[in-house]
Structure 1
Amino acid sequence: MEFEGIRAIVTGGASGIGAATTAHLTRRGAKVAVLDLNPEAASEAALSIRCDVADDASVRAAVERVAREFGGIDVVVNNAGIGAQGTVADNDDAEWQRVLDVNVIGAVRVSRAALPHLRQSPAAAIVNTSSIAATAGLPARALYAATKGAIRALTLSMAADHVREGIRVNCVNPGTADTPWINRLLSQADDPVAERAALEARQPHGRLVTPEEVAAAVAYLASPLAGSTTGTELAVDGGMQAVRLRPVE
Protein backbone atom coordinates (compact mmCIF):
# COMPACT_ATOMS: atom_id res chain seq x y z
CA MET A 1 0.00 0.00 0.00
CA GLU A 2 2.83 2.39 -0.85
CA PHE A 3 0.31 4.62 -2.63
CA GLU A 4 -1.63 5.36 0.56
CA GLY A 5 -2.25 9.12 0.53
CA ILE A 6 -1.06 9.51 -3.08
CA ARG A 7 -3.34 11.48 -5.38
CA ALA A 8 -3.09 10.49 -9.03
CA ILE A 9 -4.42 11.51 -12.44
CA VAL A 10 -4.70 8.90 -15.20
CA THR A 11 -5.62 10.26 -18.62
CA GLY A 12 -7.44 7.86 -20.89
CA GLY A 13 -8.19 5.93 -17.73
CA ALA A 14 -11.58 4.52 -18.70
CA SER A 15 -10.35 1.69 -20.92
CA GLY A 16 -7.40 -0.49 -21.85
CA ILE A 17 -4.06 0.28 -20.21
CA GLY A 18 -5.53 3.35 -18.52
CA ALA A 19 -8.29 1.37 -16.86
CA ALA A 20 -5.83 -1.29 -15.70
CA THR A 21 -3.57 1.44 -14.29
CA THR A 22 -6.47 3.05 -12.48
CA ALA A 23 -7.44 -0.27 -10.91
CA HIS A 24 -3.84 -1.09 -9.96
CA LEU A 25 -3.18 2.26 -8.28
CA THR A 26 -6.53 2.18 -6.48
CA ARG A 27 -5.88 -1.29 -5.08
CA ARG A 28 -2.57 -0.08 -3.72
CA GLY A 29 -4.07 2.84 -1.85
CA ALA A 30 -4.08 5.79 -4.27
CA LYS A 31 -6.91 8.21 -4.85
CA VAL A 32 -7.28 8.26 -8.63
CA ALA A 33 -8.94 10.71 -10.97
CA VAL A 34 -9.70 9.48 -14.48
CA LEU A 35 -9.62 12.13 -17.21
CA ASP A 36 -11.29 10.71 -20.30
CA LEU A 37 -13.59 11.59 -23.17
CA ASN A 38 -15.89 8.81 -21.92
CA PRO A 39 -15.65 9.04 -18.12
CA GLU A 40 -18.86 7.09 -17.60
CA ALA A 41 -16.93 3.92 -18.47
CA ALA A 42 -14.37 4.47 -15.71
CA SER A 43 -14.16 2.59 -12.42
CA GLU A 44 -16.63 3.68 -9.77
CA ALA A 45 -13.71 3.82 -7.35
CA ALA A 46 -12.21 6.74 -9.29
CA LEU A 47 -13.16 10.38 -9.62
CA SER A 48 -14.26 10.49 -13.26
CA ILE A 49 -14.03 13.74 -15.21
CA ARG A 50 -14.75 14.37 -18.87
CA CYS A 51 -11.63 15.86 -20.40
CA ASP A 52 -10.38 16.39 -23.94
CA VAL A 53 -6.58 16.47 -23.86
CA ALA A 54 -6.66 18.27 -27.23
CA ASP A 55 -8.39 21.24 -25.55
CA ASP A 56 -6.26 23.30 -23.16
CA ALA A 57 -9.25 24.83 -21.38
CA SER A 58 -10.74 21.38 -20.80
CA VAL A 59 -7.43 20.11 -19.42
CA ARG A 60 -6.92 23.05 -17.08
CA ALA A 61 -10.45 22.82 -15.72
CA ALA A 62 -10.16 19.08 -15.11
CA VAL A 63 -6.75 19.31 -13.41
CA GLU A 64 -7.90 22.14 -11.16
CA ARG A 65 -10.97 20.15 -10.18
CA VAL A 66 -8.80 17.18 -9.21
CA ALA A 67 -6.49 19.39 -7.16
CA ARG A 68 -9.46 21.00 -5.44
CA GLU A 69 -11.28 17.75 -4.63
CA PHE A 70 -8.17 15.75 -3.68
CA GLY A 71 -6.33 18.59 -1.97
CA GLY A 72 -3.38 18.28 -4.35
CA ILE A 73 -1.80 16.10 -7.03
CA ASP A 74 1.17 13.75 -6.64
CA VAL A 75 1.18 11.58 -9.76
CA VAL A 76 0.25 12.17 -13.40
CA VAL A 77 -0.03 9.25 -15.83
CA ASN A 78 -0.16 10.59 -19.38
CA ASN A 79 -1.81 7.63 -21.04
CA ALA A 80 -4.45 9.17 -23.32
CA GLY A 81 -3.71 8.57 -26.98
CA ILE A 82 -5.08 7.54 -30.35
CA GLY A 83 -3.74 5.11 -32.91
CA ALA A 84 -2.75 5.60 -36.52
CA GLN A 85 -1.81 3.32 -39.37
CA GLY A 86 0.06 3.81 -42.61
CA THR A 87 3.32 4.94 -44.15
CA VAL A 88 4.27 8.62 -44.46
CA ALA A 89 2.31 8.68 -47.72
CA ASP A 90 -0.93 7.39 -46.25
CA ASN A 91 -2.02 10.23 -43.94
CA ASP A 92 -2.61 13.87 -44.87
CA ASP A 93 -1.49 16.92 -42.89
CA ALA A 94 -4.76 17.11 -40.98
CA GLU A 95 -4.39 13.56 -39.67
CA TRP A 96 -0.77 14.16 -38.68
CA GLN A 97 -1.81 17.25 -36.78
CA ARG A 98 -4.75 15.49 -35.12
CA VAL A 99 -2.72 12.55 -33.81
CA LEU A 100 0.23 14.71 -32.73
CA ASP A 101 -2.19 17.04 -30.95
CA VAL A 102 -3.62 14.23 -28.84
CA ASN A 103 -0.63 11.96 -28.33
CA VAL A 104 2.10 14.55 -27.76
CA ILE A 105 0.66 17.98 -27.06
CA GLY A 106 -2.05 16.34 -24.95
CA ALA A 107 0.61 15.06 -22.57
CA VAL A 108 2.22 18.49 -22.58
CA ARG A 109 -1.08 20.18 -21.68
CA VAL A 110 -1.80 17.85 -18.77
CA SER A 111 1.75 18.02 -17.40
CA ARG A 112 1.85 21.80 -17.73
CA ALA A 113 -1.44 22.21 -15.87
CA ALA A 114 -0.36 19.81 -13.12
CA LEU A 115 3.15 21.19 -12.54
CA PRO A 116 2.19 23.83 -9.94
CA HIS A 117 0.55 21.10 -7.86
CA LEU A 118 3.32 18.55 -8.41
CA ARG A 119 5.85 21.09 -7.13
CA GLN A 120 4.01 21.02 -3.80
CA SER A 121 4.14 17.22 -3.51
CA PRO A 122 6.80 15.27 -1.59
CA ALA A 123 6.33 12.31 -3.97
CA ALA A 124 5.78 13.87 -7.38
CA ALA A 125 5.99 11.69 -10.48
CA ILE A 126 4.94 11.81 -14.11
CA VAL A 127 4.71 8.61 -16.15
CA ASN A 128 4.21 8.89 -19.91
CA THR A 129 3.02 6.09 -22.17
CA SER A 130 5.39 5.64 -25.10
CA SER A 131 5.55 2.45 -27.19
CA ILE A 132 7.72 -0.23 -28.76
CA ALA A 133 7.03 1.80 -31.91
CA ALA A 134 9.42 4.45 -30.54
CA THR A 135 12.35 2.05 -30.35
CA ALA A 136 11.75 -0.48 -33.15
CA GLY A 137 10.78 0.12 -36.77
CA LEU A 138 7.32 -1.32 -37.32
CA PRO A 139 5.65 -1.38 -40.75
CA ALA A 140 2.77 1.01 -41.45
CA ARG A 141 3.14 2.89 -38.18
CA ALA A 142 4.95 6.06 -39.32
CA LEU A 143 2.61 8.60 -37.74
CA TYR A 144 2.00 6.65 -34.55
CA ALA A 145 5.71 5.93 -34.14
CA ALA A 146 6.58 9.59 -34.62
CA THR A 147 4.27 10.58 -31.78
CA LYS A 148 5.61 7.92 -29.45
CA GLY A 149 9.20 8.77 -30.33
CA ALA A 150 8.35 12.34 -29.38
CA ILE A 151 6.97 11.14 -26.05
CA ARG A 152 10.19 9.24 -25.40
CA ALA A 153 12.31 12.33 -26.09
CA LEU A 154 9.91 14.55 -24.15
CA THR A 155 10.24 12.25 -21.13
CA LEU A 156 14.01 12.68 -21.03
CA SER A 157 13.82 16.46 -21.40
CA MET A 158 11.16 16.76 -18.71
CA ALA A 159 13.20 14.56 -16.37
CA ALA A 160 16.14 16.95 -16.75
CA ASP A 161 13.98 20.04 -16.36
CA HIS A 162 12.19 18.98 -13.21
CA VAL A 163 14.48 16.65 -11.23
CA ARG A 164 15.69 19.51 -9.02
CA GLU A 165 12.09 20.39 -8.29
CA GLY A 166 11.59 16.90 -6.89
CA ILE A 167 9.48 15.72 -9.84
CA ARG A 168 10.46 12.39 -11.42
CA VAL A 169 9.56 11.76 -15.08
CA ASN A 170 9.70 8.33 -16.74
CA CYS A 171 7.92 6.42 -19.50
CA VAL A 172 6.75 2.92 -20.27
CA ASN A 173 7.18 1.34 -23.71
CA PRO A 174 4.50 -1.32 -24.15
CA GLY A 175 4.71 -3.88 -26.89
CA THR A 176 1.55 -4.85 -28.75
CA ALA A 177 -1.02 -4.98 -25.96
CA ASP A 178 -4.38 -6.70 -25.81
CA THR A 179 -6.42 -3.49 -25.79
CA PRO A 180 -9.68 -2.34 -27.41
CA TRP A 181 -7.69 -0.49 -30.12
CA ILE A 182 -5.79 -3.64 -31.13
CA ASN A 183 -9.00 -5.63 -31.09
CA ARG A 184 -10.61 -3.10 -33.43
CA LEU A 185 -7.66 -3.42 -35.81
CA LEU A 186 -7.93 -7.20 -35.70
CA SER A 187 -11.64 -7.07 -36.47
CA GLN A 188 -10.86 -5.15 -39.67
CA ALA A 189 -8.27 -7.64 -40.91
CA ASP A 190 -9.09 -10.08 -43.71
CA ASP A 191 -8.18 -12.95 -41.36
CA PRO A 192 -8.34 -11.74 -37.72
CA VAL A 193 -7.12 -15.07 -36.34
CA ALA A 194 -4.04 -15.11 -38.57
CA GLU A 195 -3.35 -11.43 -37.88
CA ARG A 196 -3.51 -11.99 -34.12
CA ALA A 197 -1.18 -14.98 -34.44
CA ALA A 198 1.30 -12.81 -36.38
CA LEU A 199 1.23 -10.09 -33.71
CA GLU A 200 1.78 -12.67 -30.99
CA ALA A 201 4.62 -14.33 -32.88
CA ARG A 202 6.68 -11.16 -33.29
CA GLN A 203 6.99 -10.81 -29.51
CA PRO A 204 9.58 -13.28 -28.19
CA HIS A 205 7.38 -14.49 -25.34
CA GLY A 206 4.75 -15.44 -27.92
CA ARG A 207 1.69 -13.50 -26.84
CA LEU A 208 0.23 -10.03 -26.55
CA VAL A 209 1.12 -7.90 -23.55
CA THR A 210 -1.69 -7.56 -21.02
CA PRO A 211 -2.87 -4.13 -19.85
CA GLU A 212 -2.27 -5.28 -16.29
CA GLU A 213 1.41 -5.91 -17.01
CA VAL A 214 1.81 -2.37 -18.31
CA ALA A 215 -0.11 -1.03 -15.32
CA ALA A 216 2.31 -2.76 -12.96
CA ALA A 217 5.23 -1.05 -14.72
CA VAL A 218 3.50 2.33 -14.50
CA ALA A 219 2.91 1.76 -10.79
CA TYR A 220 6.59 0.97 -10.20
CA LEU A 221 7.68 4.18 -11.93
CA ALA A 222 5.05 6.23 -10.10
CA SER A 223 5.72 4.70 -6.69
CA PRO A 224 7.31 6.75 -3.90
CA LEU A 225 9.59 3.71 -3.43
CA ALA A 226 11.21 4.51 -6.80
CA GLY A 227 12.53 7.86 -5.61
CA SER A 228 15.84 7.53 -7.48
CA THR A 229 14.32 6.49 -10.80
CA THR A 230 13.93 9.30 -13.31
CA GLY A 231 14.64 9.73 -17.00
CA THR A 232 14.03 6.02 -17.51
CA GLU A 233 12.10 4.08 -20.14
CA LEU A 234 10.75 0.70 -19.08
CA ALA A 235 9.96 -1.75 -21.87
CA VAL A 236 6.98 -4.07 -21.33
CA ASP A 237 7.18 -5.85 -24.65
CA GLY A 238 7.88 -9.53 -24.08
CA GLY A 239 11.48 -8.96 -25.17
CA MET A 240 10.59 -7.51 -28.57
CA GLN A 241 13.11 -4.66 -28.38
CA ALA A 242 16.08 -6.42 -26.77
CA VAL A 243 15.80 -10.17 -27.24
CA ARG A 244 16.89 -11.98 -30.42
CA LEU A 245 15.89 -15.63 -30.59
CA ARG A 246 17.02 -18.18 -33.13
CA PRO A 247 14.24 -19.49 -35.38
CA VAL A 248 12.49 -22.59 -34.11
CA GLU A 249 13.79 -25.61 -36.04
Structure 2
Amino acid sequence: MARTKRGGSFYDTPQIVERYLDHRHSGVPSPNHVMEEPAFLAELGEVAGLRVLDLGCGDAAIGQVLLDAGCRSYLGLDGSAAMVEAANAALGGTAGRVEMVDIEDFSAPPSSFDLVVSRLAFHYVEDIEPVLAAVHECLSPGGRIIFTVVHPILTSYDSGVREKRTSWVVDDYFLQGLREREWMGSAVTWFHRTVEDYVVTLTKAGFSLTSLRECAPCEERFAGDADELARRRRVPLFLLLAGTRA
Protein backbone atom coordinates (compact mmCIF):
# COMPACT_ATOMS: atom_id res chain seq x y z
CA MET A 1 0.00 0.00 0.00
CA ALA A 2 1.24 3.49 -0.81
CA ARG A 3 2.24 5.87 1.97
CA THR A 4 -0.84 7.02 3.84
CA LYS A 5 -2.01 10.59 3.31
CA ARG A 6 -4.60 12.35 5.39
CA GLY A 7 -6.25 15.73 5.45
CA GLY A 8 -5.33 18.28 2.85
CA SER A 9 -2.02 16.57 2.03
CA PHE A 10 -3.91 13.65 0.48
CA TYR A 11 -5.07 15.88 -2.37
CA ASP A 12 -1.50 16.89 -3.16
CA THR A 13 -0.70 13.32 -4.17
CA PRO A 14 0.00 13.37 -7.94
CA GLN A 15 -3.20 13.18 -10.05
CA ILE A 16 -5.49 12.86 -7.00
CA VAL A 17 -7.01 16.34 -7.18
CA GLU A 18 -7.78 15.89 -10.89
CA ARG A 19 -9.40 12.48 -10.32
CA TYR A 20 -11.42 13.77 -7.40
CA LEU A 21 -12.70 16.92 -9.06
CA ASP A 22 -13.54 15.05 -12.27
CA HIS A 23 -15.61 12.60 -10.22
CA ARG A 24 -17.21 15.18 -7.93
CA HIS A 25 -18.41 17.29 -10.85
CA SER A 26 -19.42 14.40 -13.13
CA GLY A 27 -23.18 14.85 -12.75
CA VAL A 28 -25.38 11.79 -12.17
CA PRO A 29 -22.45 9.39 -11.49
CA SER A 30 -21.34 11.61 -8.61
CA PRO A 31 -23.13 11.01 -5.28
CA ASN A 32 -22.06 14.53 -4.31
CA HIS A 33 -24.22 15.92 -7.12
CA VAL A 34 -27.30 13.78 -6.53
CA MET A 35 -27.23 13.48 -2.72
CA GLU A 36 -24.90 15.72 -0.70
CA GLU A 37 -25.18 18.96 -2.66
CA PRO A 38 -29.00 19.17 -2.84
CA ALA A 39 -29.27 18.44 0.89
CA PHE A 40 -26.66 21.08 1.66
CA LEU A 41 -28.32 23.71 -0.52
CA ALA A 42 -31.73 22.95 0.99
CA GLU A 43 -30.28 23.52 4.46
CA LEU A 44 -28.33 26.63 3.51
CA GLY A 45 -31.23 29.07 3.32
CA GLU A 46 -30.77 32.84 2.97
CA VAL A 47 -27.12 33.97 2.95
CA ALA A 48 -27.41 37.57 1.74
CA GLY A 49 -25.23 39.86 3.85
CA LEU A 50 -23.52 37.03 5.74
CA ARG A 51 -19.79 36.64 6.36
CA VAL A 52 -19.07 33.03 5.38
CA LEU A 53 -16.17 30.76 6.29
CA ASP A 54 -15.67 27.47 4.41
CA LEU A 55 -13.45 24.93 6.21
CA GLY A 56 -11.85 22.43 3.87
CA CYS A 57 -13.17 24.38 0.90
CA GLY A 58 -11.67 22.19 -1.83
CA ASP A 59 -12.06 23.92 -5.18
CA ALA A 60 -14.46 26.42 -3.55
CA ALA A 61 -17.29 25.55 -5.92
CA ILE A 62 -19.78 26.55 -3.23
CA GLY A 63 -18.02 29.90 -2.89
CA GLN A 64 -19.34 31.13 -6.21
CA VAL A 65 -22.84 29.98 -5.26
CA LEU A 66 -22.66 31.89 -1.98
CA LEU A 67 -21.28 35.03 -3.61
CA ASP A 68 -23.97 34.91 -6.30
CA ALA A 69 -26.55 34.63 -3.50
CA GLY A 70 -25.28 37.87 -1.99
CA CYS A 71 -23.11 36.84 0.93
CA ARG A 72 -21.10 39.74 2.30
CA SER A 73 -17.78 37.86 2.19
CA TYR A 74 -16.45 34.37 1.52
CA LEU A 75 -13.22 32.93 2.95
CA GLY A 76 -12.22 29.39 2.04
CA LEU A 77 -9.51 27.49 3.93
CA ASP A 78 -7.90 24.28 2.74
CA GLY A 79 -4.76 22.34 3.63
CA SER A 80 -4.06 21.22 0.06
CA ALA A 81 -1.92 23.40 -2.18
CA ALA A 82 -3.53 21.82 -5.25
CA MET A 83 -7.02 22.55 -3.99
CA VAL A 84 -6.12 26.14 -3.08
CA GLU A 85 -4.78 26.62 -6.60
CA ALA A 86 -8.00 25.23 -8.09
CA ALA A 87 -10.12 27.38 -5.76
CA ASN A 88 -8.24 30.57 -6.59
CA ALA A 89 -8.67 29.84 -10.28
CA ALA A 90 -12.41 29.26 -9.79
CA LEU A 91 -12.91 32.43 -7.73
CA GLY A 92 -10.65 34.69 -9.79
CA GLY A 93 -12.26 38.07 -10.32
CA THR A 94 -14.68 37.67 -7.40
CA ALA A 95 -14.68 39.03 -3.87
CA GLY A 96 -13.98 35.54 -2.50
CA ARG A 97 -10.67 34.65 -0.84
CA VAL A 98 -8.95 31.31 -0.32
CA GLU A 99 -6.02 30.58 1.99
CA MET A 100 -3.94 27.49 2.66
CA VAL A 101 -4.65 26.54 6.29
CA ASP A 102 -5.22 23.12 7.85
CA ILE A 103 -8.60 22.79 9.54
CA GLU A 104 -6.88 21.76 12.78
CA ASP A 105 -4.98 25.08 12.87
CA PHE A 106 -7.99 27.35 12.30
CA SER A 107 -8.73 30.15 14.72
CA ALA A 108 -10.34 33.57 14.37
CA PRO A 109 -11.45 36.40 16.67
CA PRO A 110 -14.95 36.32 18.20
CA SER A 111 -17.83 37.32 15.92
CA SER A 112 -15.67 37.16 12.76
CA PHE A 113 -18.27 35.16 10.80
CA ASP A 114 -22.03 34.63 10.61
CA LEU A 115 -22.00 31.25 8.85
CA VAL A 116 -19.43 28.44 8.83
CA VAL A 117 -19.76 25.63 6.32
CA SER A 118 -17.68 22.52 5.78
CA ARG A 119 -18.42 19.95 3.10
CA LEU A 120 -16.90 16.48 3.36
CA ALA A 121 -13.84 17.51 5.35
CA PHE A 122 -14.31 16.77 9.06
CA HIS A 123 -13.83 13.00 8.61
CA TYR A 124 -10.19 13.82 7.77
CA VAL A 125 -9.72 15.45 11.21
CA GLU A 126 -8.64 13.25 14.11
CA ASP A 127 -10.12 15.45 16.85
CA ILE A 128 -12.98 17.72 15.87
CA GLU A 129 -13.74 18.96 19.40
CA PRO A 130 -11.22 21.84 19.27
CA VAL A 131 -12.25 22.63 15.70
CA LEU A 132 -15.90 23.00 16.66
CA ALA A 133 -14.89 25.01 19.73
CA ALA A 134 -12.94 27.38 17.46
CA VAL A 135 -15.92 27.63 15.12
CA HIS A 136 -18.22 28.47 18.04
CA GLU A 137 -15.78 31.15 19.18
CA CYS A 138 -15.56 32.82 15.77
CA LEU A 139 -19.31 32.97 15.09
CA SER A 140 -21.52 35.93 15.89
CA PRO A 141 -24.40 35.30 18.32
CA GLY A 142 -27.02 33.27 16.49
CA GLY A 143 -24.47 32.28 13.85
CA ARG A 144 -24.76 28.90 12.17
CA ILE A 145 -22.60 25.94 11.24
CA ILE A 146 -23.54 23.49 8.49
CA PHE A 147 -21.29 20.55 7.72
CA THR A 148 -21.38 17.27 5.84
CA VAL A 149 -19.22 14.17 6.24
CA VAL A 150 -19.05 10.75 4.68
CA HIS A 151 -21.77 8.78 6.46
CA PRO A 152 -20.52 6.74 9.43
CA ILE A 153 -21.85 3.50 7.98
CA LEU A 154 -19.26 3.97 5.22
CA THR A 155 -16.38 5.19 7.36
CA SER A 156 -16.84 2.28 9.77
CA TYR A 157 -15.47 -0.39 7.45
CA ASP A 158 -13.73 -0.70 4.09
CA SER A 159 -14.93 -3.77 2.22
CA GLY A 160 -12.20 -3.36 -0.38
CA VAL A 161 -14.72 -3.21 -3.23
CA ARG A 162 -13.52 -0.76 -5.88
CA GLU A 163 -16.00 -1.32 -8.70
CA LYS A 164 -19.56 -0.01 -8.70
CA ARG A 165 -21.03 -1.25 -5.44
CA THR A 166 -24.14 -3.36 -5.16
CA SER A 167 -23.72 -4.20 -1.47
CA TRP A 168 -22.32 -2.50 1.63
CA VAL A 169 -20.83 -3.86 4.85
CA VAL A 170 -21.08 -2.15 8.25
CA ASP A 171 -18.66 -3.41 10.89
CA ASP A 172 -16.81 -2.05 13.94
CA TYR A 173 -19.36 0.74 13.94
CA PHE A 174 -18.94 1.67 17.61
CA LEU A 175 -15.14 1.58 17.44
CA GLN A 176 -14.06 5.19 16.91
CA GLY A 177 -10.82 6.18 15.27
CA LEU A 178 -8.50 5.88 12.32
CA ARG A 179 -9.51 4.00 9.18
CA GLU A 180 -7.00 3.51 6.37
CA ARG A 181 -8.26 2.66 2.90
CA GLU A 182 -7.55 2.94 -0.79
CA TRP A 183 -9.54 5.76 -2.39
CA MET A 184 -9.11 7.61 -5.66
CA GLY A 185 -6.17 5.34 -6.44
CA SER A 186 -4.13 6.17 -3.31
CA ALA A 187 -4.04 5.50 0.41
CA VAL A 188 -6.06 7.83 2.62
CA THR A 189 -6.89 8.07 6.30
CA TRP A 190 -10.36 8.91 7.50
CA PHE A 191 -11.48 9.11 11.14
CA HIS A 192 -14.64 7.21 11.98
CA ARG A 193 -17.29 8.51 14.37
CA THR A 194 -20.86 7.38 14.89
CA VAL A 195 -23.83 9.64 14.20
CA GLU A 196 -24.20 9.97 17.96
CA ASP A 197 -20.56 11.03 18.30
CA TYR A 198 -21.04 13.87 15.82
CA VAL A 199 -24.20 15.11 17.52
CA VAL A 200 -22.71 14.96 21.02
CA THR A 201 -19.54 16.75 19.93
CA LEU A 202 -21.53 19.50 18.20
CA THR A 203 -23.73 20.15 21.21
CA LYS A 204 -20.77 19.91 23.61
CA ALA A 205 -19.15 22.75 21.66
CA GLY A 206 -22.13 24.95 22.56
CA PHE A 207 -24.33 24.60 19.49
CA SER A 208 -28.04 23.91 19.44
CA LEU A 209 -28.68 21.14 16.90
CA THR A 210 -31.08 22.49 14.28
CA SER A 211 -30.93 19.83 11.58
CA LEU A 212 -29.80 16.29 10.89
CA ARG A 213 -30.09 15.01 7.33
CA GLU A 214 -28.88 11.79 5.74
CA CYS A 215 -28.91 13.33 2.28
CA ALA A 216 -31.45 11.13 0.53
CA PRO A 217 -31.06 11.15 -3.26
CA CYS A 218 -32.73 14.02 -5.10
CA GLU A 219 -34.78 12.42 -7.86
CA GLU A 220 -34.74 15.54 -10.04
CA ARG A 221 -30.96 15.29 -10.40
CA PHE A 222 -30.86 11.80 -11.92
CA ALA A 223 -31.84 12.82 -15.47
CA GLY A 224 -34.27 9.91 -15.68
CA ASP A 225 -31.72 7.23 -14.68
CA ALA A 226 -34.08 5.03 -12.66
CA ASP A 227 -31.50 2.30 -12.01
CA GLU A 228 -28.99 4.71 -10.50
CA LEU A 229 -31.73 6.35 -8.42
CA ALA A 230 -32.76 2.94 -7.08
CA ARG A 231 -29.13 2.13 -6.21
CA ARG A 232 -28.63 5.41 -4.39
CA ARG A 233 -31.78 4.83 -2.34
CA ARG A 234 -30.30 1.71 -0.75
CA VAL A 235 -27.90 3.24 1.79
CA PRO A 236 -27.02 6.72 3.06
CA LEU A 237 -23.65 7.98 1.85
CA PHE A 238 -23.53 11.35 3.63
CA LEU A 239 -24.49 12.90 6.94
CA LEU A 240 -25.38 16.57 7.35
CA LEU A 241 -25.57 18.38 10.67
CA ALA A 242 -26.46 22.01 11.34
CA GLY A 243 -26.33 23.98 14.55
CA THR A 244 -26.82 27.50 15.89
CA ARG A 245 -24.51 29.30 18.28
CA ALA A 246 -26.35 30.00 21.50
Normalising by structure 1, we get a TM-score of 0.46
Which of the two has greater strand per residue?
2
Q: Which structure carries more relative contact order (alpha carbon 8 Å, separation 6+)?
A: 2
